[in-house]
């Protein structure tokens, strides 16, 4: 099932709507956001995903992390 999420990448001036799948990992989500913002912000490997003030483990699926439709997540450099 697709989940629309609002992603904000540190250093970008725009928030982006990302369509994700529940079985996708947190790491894959961070990669997709960085790819979508690549025209404005350079890619980096060392990032953290923040959701509701908590750092998410990269190997969690979005379902395990509890992300729901139209919620915000942030990708910040470590």
Look at residues 67, 72, 53, 66 and name the one whose alpha carbon lies nearest to residue 7.
Answer: 72
CA distance 46 to 52: 20
Domain residue extents for the chain: 2-77
- CA 18-62-70 angle, 5° bins: 45
Each residue's pLDDT tens digit, 21-37? 999 999 999 999 999 99
Instruction: Match domain 2-77 to its CATH number in 3.40.50.300, 3.50.50.60, 3.10.20.270, 3.40.140.10.
Output: 3.10.20.270
pLDDT for 12 beyond 90: yes
- The first and second tokens of residue 26, run together, are 């947190």
pLDDT for 1 beyond 90: no
- Looking at residue 20, what is its pLDDT? 97
Name the pTM for this structure.
0.94
Each residue's pLDDT tens digit, 34-78? 999 999 999 999 999 999 999 999 999 999 999 999 999 999 999
- Looking at residue 6, what is its pLDDT? 98
């Amino acid at each position: 099932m697709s989940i629309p999420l609002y992603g904000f990448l540190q250093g970008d001036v725009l928030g982006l709507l990302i369509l994700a799948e529940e079985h996708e990992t947190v790491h894959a989500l961070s990669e997709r956001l960085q790819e979508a913002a690549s025209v404005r912000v350079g890619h980096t490997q060392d990032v953290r995903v923040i959701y509701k003030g908590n750092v998410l483990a990269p190997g969690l699926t979005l379902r395990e992390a509890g992300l729901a439709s139209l919620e915000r997540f942030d990708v910040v450099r470590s």
